[in-house]
Structure 1
Amino acid sequence: MDEPADIGRRVQRLRKERGLTQRQLASPAYTPAYVSTLESGKVRASETALRFFAERLGTSFEELVTGRPARLATELRLGLTDAQRALAEGAADDAAVRYRRLLTDAENLDLAPERAEALLGLGDCALETGELDDARRHFEAAEELMAEQPLPRRARAIRGRAIAHLLTGELRYACYLLESTIDELGTSGLADPEALVLLYAAVIGPYIDMGAHARAAHAAELALALTPQVSDPALVAGMHRQVARTFLAEGRIDDADASLAKAQSIYRQLRLRTDLAHCHWMRGYVHAQNGELDGAERELRTARDMLAAKRAALYTAQVEVELADVLRRLGRFDEAAVLVSALLELDDRHGAVHAGGAHRLLGLIAEERGEPEAAEEHYVQALALLERSGASGDLADLCRLLGDLLRRGGRTEAALDAYRTGLGHRAAPGTTTLGPPPSAPPYRQR
C-alpha cells in the first residue's frame, strides 16, 4: 500500500475525473471533511474506508492503494500459469524465457508474491537444464523474498535448493536442509500436510544414496499417511515416485512397480511429460533390478528420448548411466562404453555423483574386457568423485569392486585396505554421516 499522500492524490484525481464533489464521494458512510483530510494525505485510511471509496470511484481496491491496474496483476498470474504449463510439458528453455520476462514485469509492478513465483519457476527450469548454480541462486532469492511468509509457503524454495545441492553431490547438506525444515514445521505447529509430503518425498533420494534405508522407509511411511490430506495430484504422484525407491531398496519389486504405475497414471492425466519421463526411467531401473534387461532397455531409451528432446541435459545424463549399465549386462560392451564415455565431462557442479557412476561402469567394462589396469584407474577416479558426497552405498560398492580387482591381481594388502574402507562406509547405515532423524510432526489423520 502506498503512502497516505500518494493515495490521497489518487483519490482526488479519480474523484475529479468522475465529476464528483467531496460530499458526493463521502455519502452516505463518511463526511466531506474526512474526504478532504484523506485527499490531503493527513490520514491513513482504513482498508474498509478505502474499499468503500474504490467502489464509489469505479476502480479496484488494489489500483486505488497501489496505482497499479488490477488487470496487470491478473495478466501476470495467468502468464505464470502458462510458464508453469510449458515447464511441465518439458519445454524448460521456453518456460525460462517466459519466467524471466514475468520476473521483470513483477519487479516493475512491485509484486513480491509474483516475483517469488517467477524465481521458483526459474529455479525449476535450471534444475531441468542442469544449471545447478543458477538453480540455487533462484531458489535462495525466492526464499529471501518470502522470508516473512509462514514456513509452509517457503517449503518449495527450500526443497528446490536441497535438490540443487543433491544433484551436485552434496548429499549431507541436502539432508540437513530438508530435515531441519521438517523439524521446524513440527516445532512451530505449522505441520502443513502438503509441505510435509513435498519435503518427505524430496529427502527419500538422499537417504537412500547415503545408505540410510530405514530412515528413507520411515519418510515414505509418513508421506503415505499424509496423502489423503493432499489435494495436489502432481504432488501425490511425485510422492509415489519417490516411495517406489524405498520399495526397491527393500527388494519389494512388485510394490515399487505398482507405486510407479500410480504415478504414471496421474502424470498422463495431467500431461506432465517430464515427470512421465522420470517414471519410464524408474520403471527401467525396476526391470533391470528384476533381471528383465530387454524391458529395462526399452523403458530407459524411452525416458532418455523424452528428456533429450526437452533438453533436460542433467537428467538425460543420469538415464544414460542406467542405460549403459543395462547394455553392459547384455554384453554390448562397445555400445555401453561409447554411451558412458560422454558422461565423463560432467564436473563437480553438474553431477559428480553421475560422473562417478560413469567411471564405475567403465571400470566394470574394462574388467570384462580383461583390462585390469584401466579398471583400477576408473574405480579410483570414481572414488575420488564420490568421497565428498557421502553416498555411502555407492562408495562401499566401489571399495568392494576395487578390493576384488586387487585381490585377483595378487595385491592382498591393498585389497584389504579397500575392503576396510568399504566397511567404514557401511558400518552403521544412516548414522555415520547424519545426526538424529527429524521428529515426526504432529498431524491429524482423516
Structure 2
Amino acid sequence: MTTSDLVGLRIKTVRRQRGLSQAQLAHPELSDSYVSLIESGKRTPTPAVLELLAQKLDCSLSYLINGVTAEQMEDIELALGYARLALENGEVKEARTRFAELLENNNLTGLTTLRQDTEFGLALAHEACGDLDEAISILLKLRDQELSTERRIEVAMVLCRAYRDSERLTEAVQVGEQMLAGNARLPWTDPLVELAATVLGAYMLRGDLLRARQFAAELLNAADALGTPRSIVAANWNASSVAYATGHNEEALLFAERALAVLLETGQPRAVARMRTALLQRRLRASPSEAASVRHALRAAVGEHEQTSTSLIDRARVHVELANAEYMTGDYDKAVEHAKSAIELVPEFGHVLGAEANLLLSRVYAAVGRADEAAGHAASVRDWLMPLPDTRRSASTWYATAETMEQLGDSDGAVEAYQRALACVGL
C-alpha cells in the first residue's frame, strides 16, 4: 500500500470508531466527496487538511501520518535516544541490544526515517563490538533503501570503513569511489571529505601509495577551501598517514599535529582517543628511543579509550601498542598482560591485531627463555592471518613472524611465513 492508501485507511478507521459519516467529518470545511477520495487513497491531503482532520477525529496528527500515537512516537524516540547514548558512552554491547530490541517494535515499521536511524545505529554498534560482517550486512540492506543524500554518504563511509577494517580493500575502495563519483559535480562537504579520507586509508593499506599521495593533496585543497574543523581534521590526519607511509616523517608530524590541534578544539573524546593512539604508534615506530615516554602516554590512553565510545578493535589496538612499548622498555610482565588483553577484545581468528599480539607474546617468551610458549604463539599467528586477504599489513606481519620463527629455530615455519609474505605483495 502507498502512503496515501495508509493515511486514508487510518482516517476511515478512526472515523468509523467515532461513529461519524463522511459528510459529518467533512462539514463544514470540506466536501464529503473529497473525504471519500482521501479515504480511498485517490487524493493526498495537504498538511493543513491532515491537521484539520486530526482535530475533528480527536486523534494525533502523528497517528494519521505514521500509524502511531503521540505517546508511542515519544516512546520510540526515547528508546532510540537511550541506544545512541549507550553507544556514545562506550557501552557498545548494551547499545547493540537496545537498537536490536527497538527494531522489533512493530510501530517502527511505518516510521521510515526513525527505522533507518535505528538500522544505522545497530550497524555502528555491531562495528564497535567488532562484528564487522554483521555491520556490513545491515549497511548493504540500508544502502538499497531510499535515503537522504547525507545519510547515503554516511552509510557509504561506514561501509567503506568496515570493509577496510575487514581487510576487504577492493570492496572498500569500490564503495567509496562509487559514492564520490556520483557526487563528483557537487561541491565538497564535510561528509564527502570524511568519506574520501576513508577511501584514502584503503588505498594505503592495499599499497597504492602514488594514488594515495595524489588524493591526499586533493583532499587538503578541498579542506582548506571549506575551512571547517571536520574537513581539516580528516584531510590533515590522512595526509599525515600517507606522508608517514612514504617516508616523509617530518611532513607527517606537521599534518598530524594540525589535525589533533583542531580536533581538541572540537571536543570529540572518541576521535581524540583514536587519533592520539595512532600518533603514539607512529612515534614508537619512528623513534624507538622514545619508547619510555610513549609507554607513559599509552598507559593514559588505555583509560581514555575506556571512558569513550571507541570500538573493541580500537581498544585492542591501544593494548597492542602499549604491549609493544612495555616490551621495548623491558617490562615483560606488562607486555604479556596487554597483549593478552588485546587478544580478548578482537574477534577470534580473523583480525590482524590478534596476529600482532600473538607475535609479540612469542618475542616476549623468547626473551625470558620460555621457548615452547614462544614457539606456540608464533605458530598461532598463522591461524589469525590465514583467513585474511593478502594486504601489505598482512605481509608485514607474515615477514615479522618469519623472522621470529627463524630466531626460534623453526626453519620450516619461517620458510612458509616468508612465502606468505611474498604472496601478500604479489610475488
User: What's the TM-score, normalizing by structure 1?
Assistant: 0.74
**What's the offset of the Cα at 1:398?**
3.4
> Distance between the aligned counterparts of 2:416 and 2:26, measured in 1?
90
With CA pairs under 8 Å and 6+ residues apart, which has the higher RCO, 1 or 2?
1
Structure 1 residues 89 and 420: alpha-carbon distance in aligned structure 2, compared to 1, 3 A threshold: closer
Q: What is the CA deviation profile of residues 320-339 of structure 1, one whole-angstrom value per residue up to 9, with x for unaligned ones?
A: 11111111111222321232
Give the corresponding residue for 1:444.
Answer: none
**What's the offset of the Cα at 1:349?**
4.8
Structure 1 residues 400 and 62: alpha-carbon distance in aligned structure 2, compared to 1, 3 A threshold: closer
Q: What is the CA deviation profile of residues 20-48 of structure 1, one whole-angstrom value per residue up to 9, with x for unaligned ones?
A: 7734212xxxxx35335336x3561134x
**What's the offset of the Cα at 1:80?**
4.1
> Distance between the aligned counterparts of 1:221 and 1:280, measured in 2?
23
Q: What is the CA deviation profile of residues 242-268 of structure 1, one whole-angstrom value per residue up to 9, with x for unaligned ones?
A: 443223213344444444444444554
Other structure's SS at 1:276 match = helix
Pair 1:323 & 2:319 matched:
no
**What's the offset of the Cα at 1:269?**
4.6
C-alpha contact 2:402 2:415 (8 A) present in aligned 1: no
Pair 1:214 & 2:210 matched:
yes
**What's the offset of the Cα at 1:124?**
1.5
Alignment of 1:267-282 (within 5 A): 267-282=263-278
Paired amino acid for 1:299: A
Out of 22, 25, 28, the position equivalent to 1:24 is 28
**Count of residue correspondences:** 413
Give the corresponding residue for 2:199.
Answer: 203
Structure 1 residues 344 and 220: alpha-carbon distance in aligned structure 2, compared to 1, 3 A threshold: same
> Distance between the aligned counterparts of 1:410 and 1:10, measured in 2?
78
Q: % of aligned pairs identical?
A: 19
Paired amino acid for 1:51: P
Structure 1 residues 350 and 154: alpha-carbon distance in aligned structure 2, compared to 1, 3 A threshold: farther
C-alpha contact 1:159 1:178 (8 A) present in aligned 2: no
C-alpha contact 1:264 1:279 (8 A) present in aligned 2: yes
Structure 1 residues 91 and 200: alpha-carbon distance in aligned structure 2, compared to 1, 3 A threshold: same
Alignment of 1:280-359 (within 5 A): 280-291=276-287, 292-309=290-307, 312-345=311-344, 349=348, 352-359=351-358
C-alpha contact 2:244 2:252 (8 A) present in aligned 1: yes
User: What's the TM-score, normalizing by structure 2?
Assistant: 0.76
Q: What is the CA deviation profile of residues 129-166 of structure 1, one whole-angstrom value per residue up to 9, with x for unaligned ones?
A: 3344543444344335xx23367633433443444444
Q: Which runs of 5+ in 2 are unaligned?
A: none
Structure 1 residues 234 and 100: alpha-carbon distance in aligned structure 2, compared to 1, 3 A threshold: farther
**What's the offset of the Cα at 1:353?**
0.7
Alignment of 1:215-254 (within 5 A): 215-227=211-223, 233=229, 237-238=233-234, 240-254=236-250
**What's the offset of the Cα at 1:111?**
0.8
> Distance between the aligned counterparts of 2:106 and 2:305, measured in 1?
30
> Distance between the aligned counterparts of 1:251 and 1:106, measured in 2?
55
> Distance between the aligned counterparts of 1:14 and 1:239, measured in 2?
60
C-alpha contact 1:379 1:398 (8 A) present in aligned 2: no
Alignment of 1:369-384 (within 5 A): 369=368, 375=374, 377-384=376-383
C-alpha contact 1:247 1:253 (8 A) present in aligned 2: yes
Other structure's SS at 1:24 match = coil
> Distance between the aligned counterparts of 1:299 and 1:160, measured in 2?
29
> Distance between the aligned counterparts of 1:85 and 1:229, measured in 2?
33
Structure 1 residues 178 and 229: alpha-carbon distance in aligned structure 2, compared to 1, 3 A threshold: farther
Give the corresponding residue for 1:119.
Answer: 119
> Distance between the aligned counterparts of 1:229 and 1:74, measured in 2?
41
Q: Which runs of 5+ in 1 are unaligned?
A: 27-31, 429-446
Paired amino acid for 1:203: V
C-alpha contact 2:394 2:424 (8 A) present in aligned 1: no
Structure 1 residues 228 and 150: alpha-carbon distance in aligned structure 2, compared to 1, 3 A threshold: farther
